[in-house]
Amino acid sequence: MARKAAVSGTIRSGVGGWTYEPWRNNFYPRGLAHSKELAYASTQLTAIEVNGTYYSTFKPPTFAKWRDETPDGFVFSLKANRFTTNRRVLAEAGGSIERFIGSGLSELGPKLGPIVWQFAPTKLFDPSDFEAFLELLPDQVDGLPLRHALDVRHPSFMDPAYLALARKHRCATVFTDSDDYPSFADLTGDFVYARMMRTDPKVKTGYAPKALDRWAEAARTWASGGEPADVPRVDKPGTKVGARDVFMFFISGAKERAPAAAVALIERLKALP
């Protein structure tokens, strides 16, 4: 079950996708049919980030199938199609955004988590063009509220002007625990979205126990409206606010260890008072 503490948001822990050959040796039960992998993963984790939507367009029956194969309380975050963000002029993305949002996402119902808009590492921060893009992001689809997370991957976004724009449009900024991309945990939305990319193949749980302890405590702090003291930022932390939902995905790095890391985090959250 997703971890929910008193006067706190819900903390979800998961991985990217559910189809990965090495997981059939160390996560899925031996002999499990491939068609049952999502159903099994959704009983062990509390969220999954879908990467396939970045590369391909899915139809409503696919989203409905995912909804029906997973338990109540489970959530999918969806990476927006690359045609929405991989363009020179972001202000011209309106048609692509509409096609993606209208492709059947609402079939997920309450299992629809944040939409992740991932930008190329070469995409520089252009304030006017970026704000024009943010103005194109819809608040809802078929009556279902939408939450947007911005995965910005160029150092030029480590700028108070970017933070102000993201806050103005109530979009979260993806915090990336990685040396490969800008890593800053400034809060810009009413939820936290973290991509944990340091899984180590030599560590059974992906992250060392002390690191998992640290991130479990950070997740609890974020969920209760605070900000951890030991995360990188561009600006000073803000004042404590109300409860926030937190999404932590173990992605990239030693991907074969990602499910173990996500499960280990869930276990720590259950053990915390």
- Give just the sign of the alpha carbon dihedral 181, 184, 187, 191: positive
Contact 100, 117 (CB under 8 A): no
d(CA 173, CA 195): 11
Q: How far apart are CA 146 and CA 192, in angstroms?
A: 14
Distance CA 24, CA 34 (A): 9
Domains: count for the chain: 1
| Residue tagged 């060392």 (tokens) | 208
Domain that holds residue 175: 3-271
Containing H/E element for 56? none
Task: Name which residue leads in pLDDT, 273 or 237.
Answer: 237
pLDDT of residue 7: 62
Q: In this model, does residue 4 exceed pLDDT 60?
A: no
Question: How far is it, in rounded angstroms, from Cα 5 to Cα 273?
Answer: 9
Provide mean pLDDT across the span 92-120.
Answer: 98
| Distances, alpha carbon 1 to alpha carbons 11, 16, 190, 264, in Å | 10, 18, 22, 13
Q: Which residues are CB-contacts of 133 (< 8 A; sequence separation ≥ 6)?
A: 90, 91, 93
User: Would you place residue 123 in the very low, low, confident or very high pLDDT band (cuts 50, 70, 90)?
Assistant: very high
Which two structure tokens, joined as six digits, stand for 211?
Answer: 């690191």
Mean of pLDDT values over 101-115: 98
In the predicted model, what is the mean pLDDT of residues 24-34? 94
CA–CA dist 248, 125 (Å, integer):
25
According to DSSP, the residues that pair with 192 across neighbouring strands are: 246
pTM higher than the cut 0.75: yes
CATH code of 145's domain: 3.20.20.410
Residue 43's alpha-carbon distances to 90, 169, 221, 234, 265, in angstroms, are 38, 34, 25, 37, 15
Give residue 240's pLDDT band: very low, low, confident or very high (50, 70, 90).
confident
Report pLDDT digits (tens) over 31-61. Answer: 999 999 999 999 999 999 999 999 999 999 9
Residue 273 has what pLDDT?
A: 66
Q: Output the CA torsion 226→213→112→52 (10° steps).
A: 130
Alpha-carbon distance 269 to 145, whole Å? 27
- On the question of pLDDT at 1 being above 70, the answer is no
